[in-house]
Amino acid sequence: MRTLAIGLAALALLGGRKTEGPDTQINAAQKLADGTFYAGADMNGKSVAMAVGDALRVELESIPTAGYVWQVAGQPDFLEHVGDGMRATDPEVQDQPGYTGGNHYLSFDFRATAPGTGTLTLVEGRPWELEAGEPPEGNFALTVTVTG
């Protein structure tokens, strides 16, 4: 019961906001229809090149109902964190009334504000465990190059 309460608290902290994303997780830095660069899990350790003003969405799977969430651990000064959200990994099942739990995609949106090259890093874990010094359950790093 306590795990359920903690998971629900984690969802409340995320605001339960759904984000628009591809129908399935894309496994490359691609541009979505709105021009946003999209980076999924297999972009870990890779790089993306974009221009000033372009948008970047990093979307990673997690289990927020068990307290596991991705958090931005470091970002270059030229990337502005403009929002984040969540969407179900299996909407047909997870959007049913009364359904609780399950994996979700957590997304982080950034806008390139100036030229530069740097690494965007995210870590996955339960926030209270990370704050207590526990190692993260997952790591994600993406080198971002922004040109003028």
User: What integer best gives the mean pLDDT of the chain?
Assistant: 83
Percent of the chain with pLDDT over 70: 81
In this prediction, residue 127 carries a pLDDT of 96
Residue 135: both structure tokens together: 């190692």
Order of all β-strands in the sheet with 55-62: 30-31, 37-39, 55-62, 104-112, 79-88
Q: What is the residue range of 131's domain?
A: 2-147
CB-based contacts of 146, cutoff 8 Å, min separation 6: 49, 50, 51, 52, 54, 78, 79, 112, 114, 115, 116, 117
Residue 14 pLDDT exceeds 70: no
Residue 25 pLDDT exceeds 60: no
According to DSSP, residue 134 is labeled: P
Phi, psi for 31 (deg, rounded to 5): -95, 130
Is there a contact between 146 and 112 (Cβ–Cβ < 8 Å)?
Answer: yes
User: Could you tell me the sign of the dihedral formed by the alpha carbons of 3, 23, 119, 35, in that order?
Assistant: negative
More confident residue, 102 or 22: 102
Mean pLDDT within 77-105? 86
Residue 1 pLDDT exceeds 60: no
Is there a contact between 39 and 61 (Cβ–Cβ < 8 Å)?
Answer: no
Residue 78 pLDDT exceeds 70: yes
Question: CA nearest 56: which of 41, 39, 70, 33?
Answer: 39
Whether the predicted model's global pTM rises above the 0.75 cut: yes
Number of domains the chain contains: 1
Q: Which amino acid is at 107?
A: S
Residue 60 pLDDT exceeds 90: yes
Residue 93's CATH number: 2.60.40.2020
Question: CA nearest 114: which of 54, 56, 57?
Answer: 54
Mean pLDDT within 77-89? 93
